[in-house]
Structure 1
């Protein structure tokens, strides 16, 4: 049970309209054009199937970023995989005691198959495979025990990062190193929490030009998804469509020996069990 955003011709005109669609063996079941993340979140899969207005084939649509509108917030979590902390030789007593939260601008989002632009201002462009949580219902002061009820579904993210701008430039503030254009590939689909009942035991991997660079499992997360939702919502209001990037495992380019950063022409493929593959090619910004 997974859902995508696409552009499809409406039943009454030749003009393409944006919509949500359910992936099925028969193709894509098109949902009413006015449906939003918030309205879909309130329905079960059977209800969504019943309200589909048409079925089309994959080749008849164009995939779009996974939002009916740009998310209000894209929140990242730093230093949240034990193997990522280990590769940086962080001693156990210095592990984060609370989530390390940062943000990325909504303008960073691109979809599966789109191009990652390599800015001319960096020579240390890095990949970061992540499990992304899409919020279906917002809230403030969400309890851990109720947190998953607020989740719409899960997808794959690549938290592209200009390491020099993260670590040394901009007075070591992370936001510019994380938020340049095209720095947040997301996709290829949102998979429902009914399919992924246990998001903390998923095999995840990232390859560059076919070479596996990251290979781990979400059981290595330091702070689990309910903890993240509860912590963040204790400070700020989460809204439907907000995205939480849960962290990246070990194997990022910056901590390889020697470091291996992305170059124009590279193809990056991020894979998460039960979700699929997110693939993007790097191109020099002009």
Structure 2
């Protein structure tokens, strides 16, 4: 689409820009060649906000109560990579973990928006692997989630940014994640505690969301921390991450 928009970023995600893309003759556009690296499906992300414990069964496997309101933390935008890029284990890490998540991409500025109006500020959705280092997240400094969430390569996004009208029911999408071909997570967005309109509205009460910002909305059970015994990523592992209708990620794990 580079003949239509320079890149997929906040500027190109406004309603008017998306309408320009919709009106293009997509069938006439050149296809990406096999073997070409795909970057993240949105670039120039300002805020990369994550929601913790947004699936009741994942909260249970983490030994934490279901929160009364969303747990929010930041992932560093510098951790964003393409959907099939290598995931790097930080130096000395022994507890690098996986999380399949639905991510919301903001299309219009949102500040103090109502739940009823929230979806008017959403451009679309994509797959996120919220890679997490559990020791950094939970054991350092009394527990500071941002420490374990923003390491380099900890935010694969894509392969596609699917605009909201293409998703029939964002709250009923199958979610799966496999490690070395073994299914670890097999869930659905229908078990989210706080849904998409609520999250966008709620977060907009605390910060201004700008076009191109990303909200990743939590994970179903099956993370490595919840295995008995716990199981974490190691160099040479492969990860496959999929959300129904939003595409598939395939990552190889390597040491930094």
Normalising by the smaller structure, the TM-score range is over 0.9
In structure 2, which of residues 145, 159, 166 is the aligned counterpart of residue 195 of structure 1? 166
Q: Kindly indicate whether residue 149 of structure 2 is the aligned counterpart of residue 178 of structure 1.
A: yes
Counterpart mapping for 1:1-286 below 5 A: 21=1, 30-33=3-6, 36-43=9-16, 47-51=20-24, 55-59=29-33, 62-69=37-44, 71-90=45-64, 94-285=65-256
Aligned equivalents of 2:31, 2:178: Cα separation in 1? 29
Secondary structure (helix, strand or coil) at the match of 1:281 reads strand
**Maintained 8 Å contact 1:170/1:176:** no
Which one has a bigger Cα radius of gyration? 1
Secondary structure (helix, strand or coil) at the match of 1:144 reads coil
Aligned equivalents of 1:36, 1:256: Cα separation in 2? 37
Aligned equivalents of 1:137, 1:280: Cα separation in 2? 31
**TM-score when scaled to structure 2?**
0.92
After superposition, the Cα gap between the structure-2 partners of 1:32 and 1:231, relative to the gap in structure 1 and judged at 3 Å, is closer
**TM-score when scaled to structure 1?**
0.83
Q: CA deviation at 1:44?
A: 8.2
Query: Partner residue of 1:25?
Result: none
Secondary structure (helix, strand or coil) at the match of 1:145 reads coil
**Maintained 8 Å contact 1:209/1:267:** yes
Unpaired segments ≥5 residues, structure 1: 1-20, 22-28
Counting strand residues as a fraction of each chain, which structure ranks higher? 1
**Maintained 8 Å contact 1:30/1:56:** no
**Maintained 8 Å contact 2:70/2:199:** yes
| RMSD after superposition | 2.1
**Maintained 8 Å contact 1:265/1:283:** yes
Unpaired segments ≥5 residues, structure 2: none
Aligned equivalents of 2:14, 2:42: Cα separation in 1? 13
